[in-house]
Structure 1
């Protein structure tokens, strides 16, 4: 088939995920949540978003599924639904043509509304409870159906889901008639080849909905940018995160110390009223900072490892020089050891100072004959004089001089080491230098404490413990020097501001920096938002692939060839079958929506194309046209499902009524047809047409029924009555009723008997009339019938005797008073049970003898 080849070719041009959806639909008929989840996963892959040709789509060549036969068997146990309270179920049985007669208000439409609702018809009315009674505990009914010969019972409650097994029921009523005449509608039955597109469009929408649902969970956690930053570059960046490059984003999310300093300078500039004075203050702070830097530099050098090692070297040199001097001071004339030691030298120098008092004009040591020892005051002998001269020669010698010089350098170096400031002095210095915050005071206190420990160790000549050098301060000195440069730059800026300052521009620049700083503080949220926006963009791209328009376009193309032409042909055929082909209407395709092709009945040849049939045609024409559209729509469905018609001939004349009845009987040849009507004429026509098919078919498939209302409740199936039963059976019905009347009389007296017997008399009068039509005249002429039936019937009308006419005349005269009103002066006496039985049996006997006479004559 060319359509199959065309569809396969079209599918191979679609993206892989859509091909997968079509393949699963062809195999399964419907997709579940797992299938949809697989399609959503596939559309997210590069492979799923590209066409492929590996699927054969062999299912396109397969025919329709096996046909099924669905029948309604009965509906009953109705409670709490409108005013239906049937005493027993409404039985449809195995008959193909069920005709249910009932007066207005007997419950026909209520049954129709229930069946529409529980079978899921789109225009089903909401079911109500009986408004004249208290709300029932439950609104429900029981319905029995048969599928391929197997019965199933269903209990259905109002508000529950539809009964899936009964979805295929087709129902025609006033609402359906209006819909087919006025609205756009899709063909009820779509061949699988075409329904693939409708299902595919639904799946596409479902995939899109699932993607949308997933996308909706990508909720932003990005904080709202403060309104004050509107108009800044940061605001523009914040609103365009989805398009920002990696380089731009990385740069925007870094906040450097330089940025912070720049912001602080701007803030200070903006809040300064006297920039010249502030420039002076900055330079004063700079000068104080220089003192701190100098002190730190000197102390770091003095108490550093190199300096301490130098001091140690000086100490060692002094020690070694003194040792050499001591060794050199070992004079031969000395009587005691220790000459040259510090204590000895101190004593010698003290003696030198003292000698100047008694011998102010003599050089020390005085050693002439009159001189005395400055220490012991004894006179000096020659040995003592020589010893004093040797002592002085030692003191004035090179070794001693070297020792003194070495010791002097060592002592002076210790003295020159920087003094340790107090904690108060440190705090004051830091405040004055503008570094009273950010931990500088604590740093300096720790540094000077380390220096103090080193100084103490050196002062004690490291006798107890070695001096620990302070840590290198190059980094801190560099930082302080940089800050000093900043102070200078700030001072220069303030001096420039004193001359000219664009405060508006500076304010904008400050806001821009603040906005940037605020954004960097949200860096985690910003990067998360960028990733979210990327994901949202991915979902938008995926959703763009779920456009059902191409599917609808292809569906329209295929449907035009496979569905629309056939639908239009069926509509025209139904118009001819219903005798309505003279009405100027046509069924046309209007548009395609979600791969579903819509059709509508239009006037044919109207000057104004906008003119609608319902505004021009008569009520009867509208009814017959809508019935044709309904039949054209539903009759093509495969299988056999019940057709239910609620007053199908409403507003139709006798010609259309006959055509409709013929069509309904034709439908009943292949499926179950249930007709609800209040027109006795249709009732009679259908019976004739059923007999016209064949007596056997009528006996097997024609089922006349009646429903009635009583006491505010409707839908009661009534027993077969005299008016719709064969005359022989009707005669027996009246005899059985007479038995009930007799029992009532025996129990309740004459009044109880007469209450029932009067109805029997009235029904007997009607039965006599029907006996004339159906027995005496062999149904050649019947009331409520379209014409006279002569075919095969006239020959049987023979042998009518005077006695026949006399009996009929007597019974008609005797019982007319019970069917027609009488004068009040003439009393209407109900016959006794025996008399009434005699007349009923006489009529029955006459009928039997008449048929026997005619059968013998033939």
Structure 2
């Protein structure tokens, strides 16, 4: 269709959010609130924030229901259905590629299931997803296989739900009552446009509504910068406020609007400095305080060494070293007591000493005694001999007695113990810990005297707070180090120490700042320098004032940025470009030819009003539109037209568009007569029969009245049709050729009866079984109804139809006289059928004998013969009437 192709081509140049909106508009008759919100979010992201669009598919022909390959496509068969409602897998049926096929089924038989498959596979404008089998624990997607003719060539197409539509299947048009709304302009008077133009109208309406929402949001923003007038001036703050807007930097605002404690002190200092008449004494006081801070820095550097993290680590190292040395000494003492092997001596050779040693032997005090004896021996008693001197003439230096064998051995062990390195290392480790403890205790943590600390508190409150905090941390850490060095025990469950705090850098920085302030004071008398100080003071005062307005200014900047984003969205949502395209397309495609085609369809449908192309002025949407309007109607369609009339108008436009197509692909009608009265039913039936002359037409219906109208229209047009019945076997969806018995015509019924007689011919027994008798009775029941239908359809030539309010005078003209013998023969057959039918129940003792099967066969053949004769007479009469009509036309020059 040229219009849809042009829309698809034009849509490729739209913004991504517009393409997504158009895709949803074509997919749904009404956008949900979730759809609208999703589109608005895309507009905010793509137009307001300027972010790259999300992964959105371009709008293509696949998104337009009813747009196909352009080839002439006919449906030949449907097979391999799987996961379609409650249908068994494998349901299938064939289709005649020409003419009309009527698929009739009662409610619940499966007609809607097949219609939904066709709607989804052929990309109908309005479709509901096919539901899979609810009893399958792991259902796959519904699917089916189509046999098709493409420009006369046999081909196949597979459909899987939610997969891309097959382009050839998309050429098949599908109509249901919902299609009527595709053409009606709901915004104004009864106006009709080709399929596709109302969708662009909906896009215009969507953009207009979203633009209104954006405008409301913009209006809610309070962007009044006059509240910040006091901040303007010849300062950085003043210049920032003068240029306040969406491009203002929040980082700069945060910098200007925050005063550190040092800057606050500088502000106070500058105010005082500029008021000083003799700055010299004050400068001298600052320099003296700076000198005292230099001295405090030196003291802090010393004190910090004994409480910093390195001191804590060193204390643990000393305790670990002493613990290790003590363990080694414990082993040496065990050897001294004779309970451990000497180095290199197997443990099995260890023997207990001859006599136990005194308590405390080997400890520090004992070692002092031993070293004193060693000194006495080497210096006085035996200066020429090493200690202990154990020769035969030697005496113990302590007891002055000669050594016994045990005593000499004991002295050797004592000497070996004292000479052992573990003993010396333990003593050294112990001494190191005590030495460290002494030095820690000697540390002076006071770095400032009280007068200086008070001066710092007055002039440098931040430093004073830091000193106070550091003093508490140092005291805690110092007490802890002292305690562990005194106890020699590192408590694993001790409370966590506060983090290391150092002051040396703070003292140095503040001392430098004091000297700088002193310099500033001394030079403030210089006019140039004083002017610079005045400027610096103005900057600090402006920043101090800004701090009170910072939150409001930040909101103003954010609102300004939001306003700018909304303005970009508002501009992007302007529907004028879409409106202009809509007008151009309408001017090209809403033509007199289309109006003529639609009026022809309206006439064929029996509708009295006519449409004409008309240029509509500026509408509520701001559109100038070309539409097909009903003549002399100025109210909305819902105010003028009934529901049935609106559907008739929509069907007329649908049919007019079909006639404008370059191909003659299949058209599927799903219950097209719903909610229509008998007049429109008859007109639609005739129009569909006429259409079947040039293209394949499939009609799904459960309406027996509409089925009758189709049959009448087919008879009047002398066109055949293929009938199929949708029914149940063990499950829904069984498609059988022909109609159900209740909807068969006379000829179909007689053919069916004839086929059923084959089963009777198979049983030649003298006394038929009960089943055969039931078949004979059922056969007569069917024959009775068939004779009644033959009276109406054949002998009375359908002059009167069930469900119809029309008596066909023209049909009655072909009702010709019937020979009395034939009529009596038909009455006799009918009487036998009435007696044998299952519809009558009589007491067993009064039941007439059932006619033999030969009689039923004879009566069926008789009725067939009588119907054939009546049909032949009617055809002969119609031939004669046609010849007389042709002769009359010739006489009058027709």
In the superposition, the TM-score normalised over structure 1's length comes to 0.50
Secondary structure of 1:123 counterpart? coil
Equivalent runs, 1:326-725 vs 2, <5 Å: 484-488=518-522, 511=544, 549-566=575-592, 567-581=594-608, 605=633, 609=635, 612-613=638-639, 617=642, 620-693=644-717, 698-699=719-720, 702-710=721-729, 713-719=732-738
SS of alignment partner, residue 641 of structure 1? coil
Please report how far the alpha carbon of residue 658 of structure 1 lies from its aligned counterpart in structure 2 after TM superposition. 2.8
SS in 1 for 2:81: strand
Kept in 2: contact 1:286–1:487 (CA 8 A)? no
Q: Judge conservation of contact 2:287–2:518 (CA < 8 Å) in 1.
A: yes
> Mapping of 1:106-145 within 5 angstroms?
106-129=109-132, 133=135, 137-144=139-146, 145=148
State the match for 2:150 in structure 1.
147
CA 1:276/1:68 → structure 2, altered by over 3 Å: closer, same or farther?
same
Does the CA contact (< 8 Å) of 2:727 and 2:735 recur in 1? yes
Partner of 1:835: 855
- Given candidates 734, 738, 744, the residue that maps to 2:753 is 734
Q: Describe the shift of the 1:613–1:637 C-alpha distance in structure 2 as closer, same or farther (beyond 3 A).
A: farther
Contact preservation (8 Å) 1:727, 1:767: yes
1:809, distance to aligned residue in structure 2 (A) = 0.7
- How far 1:588 moved relative to its partner? 9.2
C-alpha distance in structure 2 between counterparts of 1:243 and 1:690, whole Å: 74
Question: Displacement, 1:669?
Answer: 2.5
3-state SS of paired residue (1:167) = helix
- 1:101-134 per-residue CA deviation (whole Å, 9 max, x = no partner) reads 2333333333223322333334323433566x56
Partner of 2:93: 90
Q: Contact 2:605–2:684 at 8 Å: present in 1 too?
A: yes
Offset at residue 71 of structure 1 (A): 1.8
Whether the 8 Å CA contact 1:754–1:830 is kept in 2: the answer is yes
Structure 1 residues 663 and 772: CA distance shift in structure 2, 3 A: same
In structure 2, the CA distance between the partners of 1:783 and 1:818, relative to structure 1 (3 Å rule), is: farther
CA distance in 2, matches of 1:109, 1:251: 67
2:788 aligned counterpart, secondary structure: helix
- Post-superposition Cα deviations, 1:545-599, rounded to whole Å, max 9, x if no partner, equal 8566332232243234223344555443332221111599999969698999696
The Cα of 1:173 is off from its aligned counterpart by 2.4
Summarize deviations over 1:605-639 as a string: whole Å, max 9, x none.
46xx357248x63x654543443344345543442
8 Å contact kept, 2:68–2:168: no
CA offsets 1:209-238 (integer angstroms, 9 cap, x no match): xxxxxxxxxxxxxxxxxxxx9x99769949
Q: Could you say if the C-alpha distance between residues 821 and 171 of structure 1 is closer, same or farther in structure 2, counting changes exceeding 3 Å? A: same
Q: Which of the numbers 833, 848, 853 marks the counterpart of 1:815?
A: 833
SS of aligned partner of 2:590: helix
Cα deviation 1:522-545 (Å, max 9, x = unaligned): xxxx9xxx9x99999999999888
Give the direction of change, closer, same or farther, for the CA distance of 1:163–1:651 in structure 2 (3 Å limit).
Answer: same
Contact 1:745/1:751 (<8 A) preserved: no
CA distance in 1, matches of 2:70, 2:609: 35
What secondary structure sits across from 1:265 in the alignment?
Answer: helix
> For the structure 1 residues 829 and 708, does the alpha-carbon distance in structure 2 shift closer, same or farther, using more than 3 Å as the test?
farther
1:808: how far off?
0.6
Give deviations 1:796-823, integer Å, cap 9, x for gaps: 946x433311221111111135668435
Alpha carbons 2:123, 2:165 under 8 Å: kept: yes
- Indicate if the aligned counterparts of 2:671 and 2:700 stay in contact, CA closer than 8 A: yes
Partner Cα distance (1:780, 1:505) in 2: 109
TM-score scaled by length of structure 2: 0.48
Question: Could you say if the C-alpha distance between residues 812 and 126 of structure 1 is closer, same or farther in structure 2, counting changes exceeding 3 Å?
Answer: same
- Seen in structure 2, the aligned counterparts of structure 1 residues 89 and 626 have a Cα distance that, compared at 3 Å, is same
* 270 and 70 in structure 1: CA distance in 2 versus 1, 3 angstrom threshold: farther
User: Structure 1 residues 180 and 819 mapped into 2: Cα distance closer, same or farther (>3 Å)?
Assistant: farther
Gap change, CA 1:574 and 1:147, over 3 Å in 2 = same
The number of residues matched between the two structures is 565
Distance in 2 (CA, whole Å) between partners of 1:805 and 1:672 is: 41
Alpha-carbon contact 2:83-2:132 (below 8 Å) kept: yes
Q: Which residue of 2 aligns with 1:266?
A: 267
Whole-Å separation in 2 of the counterparts to 1:730 and 1:162: 41
Whole-angstrom distance in 1 between the partners of 2:85 and 2:812: 48
Q: Secondary structure at the match of 1:124?
A: coil
Unpaired segments of 5 or more residues in structure 2? Answer: 16-46, 48-66, 212-230, 295-446, 464-511, 527-536, 881-894
SS in 2 for 1:706: strand
Q: Structure 1: how far apart are the matches of 2:657 and 2:790?
A: 43
Q: State the alpha-carbon separation in 1 of the partners of residues 164 and 14 from structure 2.
A: 31
How far did 1:836 drift?
2.0
Instruction: Name the SS for the 1:648 alignment partner.
Output: coil
User: Which residue matches 1:52?
Assistant: none
Q: Verify the 8 A CA contact 1:282 1:490 in the aligned structure 2.
A: no
- Partner in structure 2 of residue 824 of structure 1: 842
Residues 32-431 of structure 1: pairs in structure 2 closer than 5 A: 68-85=71-88, 88-129=91-132, 133=135, 137-144=139-146, 145-177=148-180, 183=186, 187-189=193-195, 237=240, 264-266=265-267, 282-286=283-287
Structure 1, unmatched stretches of 5+, are 12-16, 20-42, 44-63, 209-228, 294-426, 439-477, 493-503, 518-525
After TM superposition, give the deviation of residue 751 of structure 1 in Å. Answer: 4.2
- Secondary structure of the corresponding residue to residue 98 of structure 1: strand
CA distance in 1, matches of 2:523, 2:848: 134
Quote the residue 2:786 is aligned against.
767
Contact 2:71/2:168 (<8 A) preserved: no
Maintained 8 Å contact 1:69/1:641: yes
Report if the CA contact (8 A) 1:92-1:98 is conserved. Answer: yes
Q: Once the 2 structures are TM-superposed, how far is the Cα of residue 69 of structure 1 from its aligned partner?
A: 1.0
Secondary structure of the corresponding residue to residue 645 of structure 1:
strand
Structure 1's 249 and 561: CA in aligned 2 closer, same or farther, altered over 3 A? Answer: same
Shift of 1:488: 4.1
Deviations 1:67-124 (A, max 9, x none): 5312222234434333445984233221221222233333333322332233333432
Q: Is the 8 A contact 2:738 2:744 kept in 1?
A: no
**Counterparts of 2:513 and 2:78 in 1: how far apart (Å)?**
98
| Cα deviation digits, residues 667-690 of structure 1 (max 9, x gap) | 223222222233445434434544
DSSP-derived class of the 2:689 partner? helix
Q: Distance in 2 between matches of 1:771 and 1:485?
A: 129
Matching residue of 2:473: none
Determine helix, strand or coil for the equivalent of 1:713: coil
State the SS of the aligned residue for 2:127. Answer: coil
Q: Residues 625 and 83 (structure 1 numbering): CA distance in 2 closer, same or farther, change over 3 Å?
A: farther
Residues 771 and 739 of structure 1: CA distance in aligned 2, closer, same or farther (over 3 Å): same
User: How far did residue 148 of structure 1 move?
Assistant: 1.4
